[in-house]
A and B are shown apart, each in its own frame.
Chain A
Amino acid sequence: MAGLPMLSYGPVSGNSGPFFEDLAVGQEFTSPGRTVTETDIVIFAGLSGDYNVLHTDAEHMKSSLFGERIAHGLLGLSIEQGLASRGEPAAAHGMLSGLKWKFKGPIRIGDTVHVRSRIAAKKEGPDPTRGLVSVERELVNQLGEIVQEGETEHVVERRPK
């Protein structure tokens, strides 16, 4: 094969960062928005097996405080996790190791939510190659109301020596 240029793909399994060293306490991120649909709720009920009437019985919910079906709290959190990964490096590159979370208000069909996040703390990790990053997150609807909030903790690789 002499004469052919060598193709360079870089390390196949390598993490190209950002690394623990690239993240700074106080860094803030805003995710894109996403509209939560009836389809999201139906698929999530099927996947999770949580068929609570809050999420699945439109007639029952007409007479409820909410007036209609609402998204599962954990569906909101799952969407939050996906949105955060589309802009925030700790979520995109760090394994989730802990969560403290509050569900503050309903997410209704048709609501559009986005994530505001801020790196709150950096700590020693489980071993010398990794650190822990804590991120404060808020899930905000189209009216500016915080519908969920909390703190996530991620294990993030340090830059290889």
Chain B
Amino acid sequence: MSAAVPVQCFFEDVEVNVPLETPGITLTRAHVALFTGITGEAGPPDAETVPGLLPLCVSSGLGWRVPRPPLAVLAFMGFEWRFLAPVRVGDTIHSQSRTLIKRSMREGGVIIEERQIINQRNETVQTGRLTLLVARRPKA
């Protein structure tokens, strides 16, 4: 008996310009403590400020909770990102994204995704474009 193949969203399944919205997550002091424990970065000037990279890191996991199977990412190739407004402990963020461009490659395909991180007041606090290498659907 073979193990069930996990359901994934392959390059062929990615639709351009279809917006995806994730559920929200409330960022707590525990998130900040775990994150600064990993990075070793000296804490922000006040304990209520969330380190800039933390919302971005959390948004990659939020992307697993949209009404679409997880993207079959082979590699995260790069990104450009703007930090527009501070995020504070207690803020609830979610992300909105859409695929801008799909480009077929020999080993898979490259997609460029536009992503915004939005807080509970509907303010965009971070935004940017991510370049991902995504697997093709395996031949049956």
Contacts and interface: CB of A to CB of B under 8 A. Distances in A.
Interface in A63-113: 72-75, 77-79, 81-83, 85-86, 92, 95-103
A83 B62 CA distance: 26
A74 B35 contact: no
Interface stretch (A2-10, A40-48, A116-124, A136-144): A40-48
Contact of B56 (A40, A74, A83, A86): A74
Most buried by B among A47, A75, A83, A102: A47
Interface stretch (A19-27, A50-58, A127-135): A50-58
B58 A77 contact: no
Contact of B58 (A47, A51, A73, A98): A47
B76 A74 contact: yes
Contacts of B80: 98-101
Contact of A74 (B41, B53, B62, B83): B53
Nearest to A78: B39
Interface residues of A, number: 37
Interface in B53-97: 53, 56-58, 60-62, 64-65, 70, 73-83, 86
A77 B40 contact: no
B38 A43 contact: yes
Contact of A103 (B58, B77, B83): B77
Given A78-B53, A81-B53, A49 B61 contact: yes
Nearest to A150: B78
Interface of B: 31, 34-42, 45, 51-53, 56-58, 60-62, 64-65, 70, 73-83, 86, 128
Which 9 pairs across A and B sit closest by C-beta, in order of nearness?
Answer: A49-B61, A82-B39, A82-B40, A82-B41, A102-B78, A73-B76, A96-B52, A99-B81, A48-B57
Given A46-B34, A95-B83, 15 more contacts: A13-B45, A43-B38, A50-B61, A50-B64, A52-B70, A54-B74, A74-B60, A78-B39, A79-B40, A81-B51, A82-B41, A95-B86, A97-B82, A98-B82, A100-B81
